[in-house]
Amino acid sequence: MSSLQQAIKHMPEEVYRKLRTAVELGKWPDGSVLTPEQKESSMQAVLLWQAMHNDNPEHMTIGKGGELVMKSKSELRRQFRDEAEITRQKLN
């Protein structure tokens, strides 16, 4: 196993989430823009982490084992329908 794979294997989920957000937004938490090199390496780390740890993939992610997972609209509706509703308010 390469040193990168070892690092990703032991990366805390909090670090993964920060990298994923940085890749999605193109910015670090302090607001500075990712360079193309940072975006590429961060994306690679995110995909590797998902391939090793993602037991419950969302729509269009990498599942555990490295497989690309794409959920259909009906699967996503069913998933979110089954979640408990927190609150609902009626607006005038």
Q: 62: part of which helix (H) or strand (E)?
A: strand 61-62
At residue 70, the pLDDT reads 67
Whether 39 is in a domain gets the answer yes
pLDDT in tens, the chain (92 residues): 788 889 988 999 999 999 999 998 999 999 999 999 999 999 999 988 888 887 665 555 666 676 666 666 676 567 656 655 566 667 76
Query: What is the token pair recorded at 41?
Result: 């390496």
Taking the C-alpha atoms of residue 63 and residue 4, their distance in angstroms, rounded to an integer, is 19
What is the domain count for the chain? Answer: 1
Domain that holds residue 69: 3-82
Whether 42 is in a domain gets the answer yes
Helix (H, G, I), strand (E, B) or coil at 92: coil
Whether 88 is in a domain gets the answer no
Residues 36-54, buried b or exposed e (16+ Cβ, 10 A)?
Answer: eebeeebbebbbbbbbbeb
The answer to whether 50 and 61 have CB atoms below 8 angstroms apart is: yes
Whether 66 is in a domain gets the answer yes
Whether 22 is in a domain gets the answer yes
